[in-house]
Structure 1
Amino acid sequence: MNYLFHTAKQSYEHFASGKVLYNAPGTTSFPVRLASEIVQRCFHLLREKGVSGPYHLYDPCCGGGYMLTVIGLLHHDRINRITASDQDQAMVKFAAQNLSLLRPDGLAKRKEQVRELFELYQKPSHMEALQSADYLMGLVEQSSALQLDCFQADSTVDNSRDERCRNAHIILTDLPYGGIVDWISGSASPVHDFFESMHKIASPASTVLAVIADKSQSLRHPKFKRLQVQKIGKRHFALFEPLA
């Protein structure tokens, strides 16, 4: 993997799922450094198109919202709106909880939950979580007010009439690929229909689509120009520009 922007390796222990960020059952934590790298590539492509921030970021297969929350914590200075949707209503609830951590009141509520656990059980892990909450609060307090939307939607159908899905500068998602997480859509060709759906809400002038998937899934579609593709471990990701 060739990192162009998030070049420095560092510890991401404060972002560990289940520590302060909520852990949605049946989901996996997306690598923090990779998420940061991909969104920064999107920022760069948008700037090259003459689209300056702050940006609207949308994840149409958000799962528990872990990746979006990490990006919001790390890059709040370049984002003014984060939108999340998923077909699984249970995941939407977890995503809403995680996104709430991007606001001081939501993070303070979570810190109080962890404090109560520490007072009850006196576990070192809870003390470490309190320290991580303080670290994350430092990030949140520096951020401007983010507009947050989280709702249930099927990413393989036409959602272009829903204003919450439209006008995103960056559409970024980790597609379901079996094993732990799989498609629950009724579509016979969910990846193809996903691209069709995204094309209906994307703007050729001001949208970049970033898709992460298992290597077995082909990341191509005739309505999108593929700008970059990169393999990393069992995954690959590609960045696209919608065609008019």
Structure 2
Amino acid sequence: MKFEHAPQASYEDVGGGQVLHSAPGFPGFPARLAVELFERARVLVGRERVGLWDPMCGAGGILTSVALLRPDALTRVLASDVDEGALELARKNLLLTTVPGLEARRAELVERGAAAGRVASADRLLARVAGLPAPPASLARADVTDPSSVAGLDLDGVDVVMADLPYGTQTDWASTSTTPTAQALEVLRDALPDGAVVVLSTTEREHLRGLPDATRSFKHGHRYVRLYRTGA
């Protein structure tokens, strides 16, 4: 895959464990790829600003990366997951899209004697967010494979969904379905308005079993990516 929207640059400040919170069992997601996939989805939606939802948010890395690097393109962000531990980690990371949250994180890094490079990353992120209001962020516990669970979410204004599918070795589905990805996609398509875009990413090809033809599909490194436009 050729990058079309995320320029070649250093994304170290929003990745690599520099500033964002991490924990065992919560795999990260490349920040540059997150921005690229978000922008491709936004182009398909056809709006300058969109609402972004990650229904399998884990540590919230995708949402936090996009909110830090493309805040002017967001109207809101929504993080949901079945795991309360994941939501707590995502909450801490989404706070880093605000000046108070980053200031507190910087002070924490200094107090813990973090490497100077990590503190410098926090300073650069502070300079980045200082002039732009953070998009409103909300979190909720929900199982994306369960229609009744998703029905309880506030999806007003959500135009783009981005999800990195569970890895199996580090995370796993709550659903017992033999095709949980297909089940989740069906729930998402029913819950979203026509014209919304669902982006699914996985490193395990078996997760794509049973999926319908995608609006866009490509491979980047070890990741398989599918984009679906609802109502299409």
Deviation at 1:55, TM superposition (A): 1.2
Are 1:230 and 2:206 counterparts?
no
Instruction: Tell me, yes or no, if the aligned pair for 1:69 and 1:101 is still in contact at 8 Å.
Output: yes
- TM-score, normalised via structure 1 length: 0.87
Are 1:11 and 2:15 counterparts?
no
SS at structure 2 position matched to 1:142: coil
Q: Of the candidates 132, 145, 149, which is equivalent to residue 143 of structure 1?
A: 132
CA distance in 1, matches of 2:131, 2:119: 19
Question: 1:153-168 maps to which residues of 2 (within 5 A)?
Answer: 153-158=142-147, 159-168=149-158
Larger radius of gyration: 1
Question: 1:89-128 maps to which residues of 2 (within 5 A)?
Answer: 89-118=84-113, 125=115, 127-128=116-117
CA distance in 1, matches of 2:23, 2:124: 22
SS at structure 2 position matched to 1:226: coil
- TM-score, normalised via structure 2 length: 0.91
What's the counterpart of residue 163 of structure 2?
Answer: 173
What's the counterpart of residue 46 of structure 1?
Answer: 45
Are 1:129 and 2:118 counterparts?
yes
Residues 92 and 237 of structure 1: CA distance in aligned 2, closer, same or farther (over 3 Å): same
CA distance in 2, matches of 1:195, 1:76: 26
Are 1:200 and 2:199 counterparts?
no
Query: Gapped runs of 5+ residues in structure 2?
Result: none
Which residue type is aligned with residue 193 of structure 2?
S
**How many equivalent pairs are there?**
230
Paired-residue identity, %: 30
Are 1:69 and 2:64 counterparts?
yes
